[in-house]
Amino acid sequence: MGFTRKLVVGSATNLASQNLTRALDGRVGVELLDSDIVDLHGLEKIVSRNDLVIVASSHKSEKGTPSLTAHTPGNFGPAEMGGEPGRLAINPALYVSEAVREFARLKERRPALAGYDVCLEVTHHGPSFSQPIVFVEVGSSEKQWRDMEAIRAAADVIVHLLDANPEGEVGLGVGGTHYAPYFTKKCLEGVNFGHICPKYASDYLDKKMLEQMANQTWPKPEVVWIDWKGTPGGLRQQVRAWAGELGLKAEKC
């Protein structure tokens, strides 16, 4: 799908954003906002609904696993890390999925990235804006945020997205863990994913939330992929029923 503009933004308080801005210098301008990366206050003043927002960001985890990730923000439940409770941003699924695949292609070509995991993350944290938004992230600790090989890879993914015009069918994801190994695998095989609700957020998943996942995914999804082993037993059949009522196919993986 086409966008009026594609903008790259980051946080002036985020180390990875700062280093990505340096890595992109001379190729792409980055709008650094004086706000936390999960809030990005002021972003709504410089974008319109038909703009694609690419966020140059850090990824953080307790384990500190070196990671190259992409995802769209949103909260299925409480807003514990920015955004609004129960609200999802617009997921430009073709671009999120293409970012993951480009990370994987770069990892194959660059030995310095061998120690990094490439992941399609589930929907999480803020902001909850009404614009299509994709986070391109380097993680998961300060060591990686200062690793210029990883930073350059993320910068190259961002440049790739600015030039790309990906096409294809789109699906949603339900179940599994935060780093969505089954959905990441399918993404690398060519499947495009919009919003993904992990098992840990399944208490907040109902028909209304599944409908929001579909409505906030661009282009419109056609199927709901269910991580069968990673979804509570009773919820599997409920998701299948809700999907049918919403005009979506349901497939297990």
The CATH code that applies to domain 5-252 is: 3.40.630.50
Residue 1, pLDDT score: 61
pTM exceeds 0.85, yes or no:
yes
pLDDT tens digits along 175-233: 999 999 999 999 999 999 999 999 999 999 999 999 999 999 999 999 999 999 999 99
Residue 60, pLDDT score: 87
Q: What value does the mean pLDDT take over residues 137-158?
A: 97
Angle at 63 between CA 66 and CA 101, to 5 degrees: 35
Residue 158, pLDDT score: 98
Smallest Cα–Cα separation from 55: which of 9, 90, 17, 96?
9
- Each domain of the chain, given as residue ranges in start order, spans 5-252
Residue 185, pLDDT score: 98
Residues 6+ apart with CB under 8 A from 226: 174, 175, 236, 239, 240, 250, 251, 252, 253
pLDDT tens digits along 79-126: 999 999 999 999 999 999 999 999 999 999 999 999 999 999 999 999
Q: What count of other Cβ atoms lies within 10 Å of the Cβ of residue 212?
A: 17
